[in-house]
């Protein structure tokens, strides 16, 4: 039997509507309009598309947004000075530095991101927010994993007591996903490029999250029949062809539920960013 397809747009729409309602309350009750600043350094074409989408989502919800375009040759000091300025700007509740950074400052990524006020860190990358996630305190959580968890909840996919396996250990997806799943009382295993007998482990998963950045890496034989498969990969294999980390056509015949690429988790990321901007504004205003 073919799997239930978890369409990102259905869930993203609900997250955005919720953010829009809360933004309206902030405007009406507190006279505060949530504001997002996105800094883009250089002209990476994929980053330009992502930044446009973030800006468009803000416009849709009436959220104030600024795109700060800085030249490819920007120095660490110039970028940090801009972050310092936005940290003090009362119109701005969320600051996001679009990654990747150009080569000359890529090595300084941690220092640059850590300069963002944790209260405005809508990416959830600052060590203060990472720490809160690990200890189970309320904070700003990275958008993609937060969106996956909210989607699983809305789709009524049980996590409590279930086996969850995450393939990939990035700071953006794999590690936060581990803590969010633990927070839902799942039993979680992280697999990565050094994991031995990977398929043996993934076959135990009730919920399998693929976030490795390798096209069609997860094949049908790696999936337990009936499992939920979340594909976080976005791999461009031809100028106009995007595929995920999961061999969708084959795996959907084994899985119980699956997210497509495109049209899956990617859409949740921007919607959750809107949630984080509103949350940051609520914390500042209330
Ligand atoms: N580039 C690709 N994904 C992301 C993300 O989630 N946040 C930022 N800041 N840059 C990215």
Q: Which residue from 121, 177, 119 is spatially nearest to 110, judged by alpha carbons?
A: 121
pLDDT per residue over 63-91, tens digit each?
999 999 999 999 999 999 999 999 999 99
Quick check: CB of 32 below 6 Å from ligand 1? no
Ligand 1 test: best mutation among 39, 49, 50, most atoms within 8 Å of CB? 50
- Find the helix or strand (DSSP H, E) in which 94 lies: strand 94-97
Residue 118 CA to residue 116 CA, distance in Å, equals: 6
pTM score of the predicted model:
0.95
In the chain the domains, ranked by start, together with CATH numbers, are 31-118 (3.40.50.10860), 142-267 (3.40.50.720)
Side-chain-facing half-sphere of 227: CA atoms under 13 Å: 25
Instruction: Tell me if 285 sits within 8 A of 32, measured CB to CB.
Output: yes
Quick check: CB of 99 below 6 Å from ligand 1? yes
Find tokens 């660490």 and name the residue. Answer: 76
Query: In this prediction, does ipTM exceed 0.90?
Result: yes
Pairing of strands 35-41, 94-97: parallel
* Main-chain phi, psi angles of 199, to 5 degrees: -65, -35
pLDDT in tens, the chain (286 residues): 799 999 999 999 999 999 999 999 999 999 999 999 999 999 999 899 999 999 999 999 999 999 999 999 999 999 999 999 999 999 999 999 999 999 999 999 999 999 999 999 999 999 999 999 999 999 999 999 999 999 999 999 999 999 999 999 999 999 999 999 999 999 999 999 999 999 999 999 999 999 999 999 999 999 999 999 999 999 999 988 999 999 999 999 999 999 999 999 999 999 999 999 999 999 999 8
End-to-end CA distance of the chain: 49
**Residues forming beta bridges with residue 64, ordered by sequence position:** 35
Cα 274 to ligand 1 centroid, rounded to whole Å? 14
Q: Which residue from 182, 122, 174 is spatially nearest to 145, judged by alpha carbons?
A: 174
Instruction: Tell me if 92 sits within 8 A of 86, measured CB to CB.
Output: yes
Cis bond upstream, residue 267 (ω within 30): no
């Amino acid at each position: 039997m073919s799997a239930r397809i978890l369409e990102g747009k259905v869930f993203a729409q609900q997250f955005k509507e919720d953010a829009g309602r809360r933004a309206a309350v902030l405007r009406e009750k507190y006279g505060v309009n949530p504001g997002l600043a996105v800094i883009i350094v250089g002209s990476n074409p994929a980053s330009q598309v992502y930044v446009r989408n973030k800006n468009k989502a803000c416009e849709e919800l009436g959220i104030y947004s600024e795109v700060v375009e800085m030249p490819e040759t920007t120095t660490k000091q110039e970028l940090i000075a801009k972050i310092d300025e936005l940290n003090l700007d009362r119109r701005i509740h969320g600051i996001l530095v679009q990654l990747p950074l150009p080569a000359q400052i890529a090595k300084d990524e941690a220092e640059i991101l850590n300069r963002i006020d944790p209260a405005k860190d809508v990416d959830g990358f600052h060590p203060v927010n990472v720490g809160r996630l690990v200890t189970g305190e309320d904070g700003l959580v990275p958008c993609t994993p937060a969106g996956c968890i909210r989607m699983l909840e809305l789709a009524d996919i049980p996590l409590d007591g279930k086996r969850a396996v995450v393939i990939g250990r990035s700071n953006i997806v794999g590690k936060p996903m581990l803590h969010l799943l633990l927070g839902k009382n799942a039993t979680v295993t992280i697999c990565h490029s050094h994991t031995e007998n990977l398929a043996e482990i993934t076959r135990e998963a009730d919920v399998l999250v693929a976030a490795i950045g390798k096209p069609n890496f997860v094949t049908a034989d790696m999936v337990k029949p009936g499992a939920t498969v979340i594909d976080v990969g976005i791999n461009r294999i031809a100028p106009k062809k995007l595929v995920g980390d999961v061999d969708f056509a084959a795996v959907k015949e084994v899985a119980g539920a699956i997210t497509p690429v495109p049209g899956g988790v990617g859409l949740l990321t921007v919607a959750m960013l809107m949630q984080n901007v509103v949350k940051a504004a609520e914390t500042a205003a209330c």
